[in-house]
Amino acid sequence: AQSVTQLGSHVSVSEGALVLLRCNYSSSVPPYLFWYVQYPNQGLQLLLKYTTGATLVKGINGFEAEFKKSETSFHLTKPSAHMSDAAEYFCALNTDKLIFGTGTRLQVFP
Amino acid sequence: GAGVSQSPRYKVAKRGQDVALRCDPISGHVSLFWYQQALGQGPEFLTYFQNEAQLDKSGLPSDRFFAERPEGSVSTLKIQRTQQEDSAVYLCASSRQGSLPGNEKLFFGSGTQLSVL
Instruction: Please indicate whether, in this complex, the C-beta atoms of B42 and A98 are within 8 angstroms of each other.
Output: no
In B, residues 74-93, which contact A (CB 8 Å cutoff)?
91, 93
- Give SS3 for B86: helix
For residue B54, CA distances in Å to B29, B60, B68, B76 come to: 15, 12, 7, 12
Confidence tier at A28 by pLDDT (50, 70, 90): confident
pLDDT at A54 over 80: yes
- Residue A51: its pLDDT value, please? 87
Interface test with A, best of B45, B90, B103 (most A CBs within 10 A): B103
Residues from chain B that touch A29, judged by Cβ atoms under 8 A, are none
* C-alpha of A81 from chain center: 14
The pLDDT, as a whole number, for residue B1 is 53
Cβ contacts of A100 on chain B, cutoff 8 Å: 35, 42-44
Q: Do A42 and B56 make contact, defined as CB atoms within 8 angstroms? A: no
Comparing alpha-carbon positions, the chain A residue that sits nearest to B91 is A43
Report residue B17's pLDDT band, with 50, 70 and 90 as the boundaries. Answer: very high
Q: How confident is the model at residue A42 (pLDDT cuts 50, 70, 90)?
A: confident
Best to test chain A binding among B23, B33, B94, B105 (most A CBs inside 10 Å) = B105
Please tell me what DSSP assigns to residue B54. E
- Say if residue B53's pLDDT is above 60: yes
* Pairwise CA distance, residues A110 & A81, whole Å: 10
CA distance B11 to B13: 6
**pLDDT above 80: residue A95:** no
Which comes out higher in pLDDT, residue A42 or A96? A42
Closest CA of chain A from B15, distance in Å: 25
Are the CB atoms for A71 and A25 separated by under 8 Å? Answer: no
Q: Does B44 touch chain A (CB under 8 A)?
A: yes
Distance of alpha carbon B18 from the chain centroid? 15
Query: Chain B residue with minimal CA distance to A46?
Result: B105
Per-residue model confidence (pLDDT) at position A98: 85
Partners of residue A92 in chain B, C-beta under 8 Å:
42
Strand partners of residue B48 = B33, B56
Residue B79 near residue B64, CB atoms below 8 Å: yes
Query: What DSSP string describes A55-110?
Result: SEEE-GGG-EEEEEGGGTEEEEEESS--GGG-EEEEEEEESSSEEE---EEEEEE-
Q: Which residues of B touch A7 (CB under 8 A)?
A: none
Residue in B21, B6, B5, B2 with CA at minimum distance from that of residue B82 = B21
Contacts of B105 in chain A (CB under 8 A): 46, 49
The pLDDT of residue B77 is above 80: yes
pLDDT grade for A15, boundaries at 50, 70 and 90: very high
Burial class (CB in 10 A: 0-12, 13-18, 19+), B30: middle
Q: What is the pLDDT of residue B101?
A: 57
Distance from C-alpha of B94 to C-alpha of B29, rounded to nearest angstrom: 6
pLDDT at B24: 97
Span B5-9, mean pLDDT? Answer: 96
Is A32 near chain B, with CB under 8 Å?
A: yes
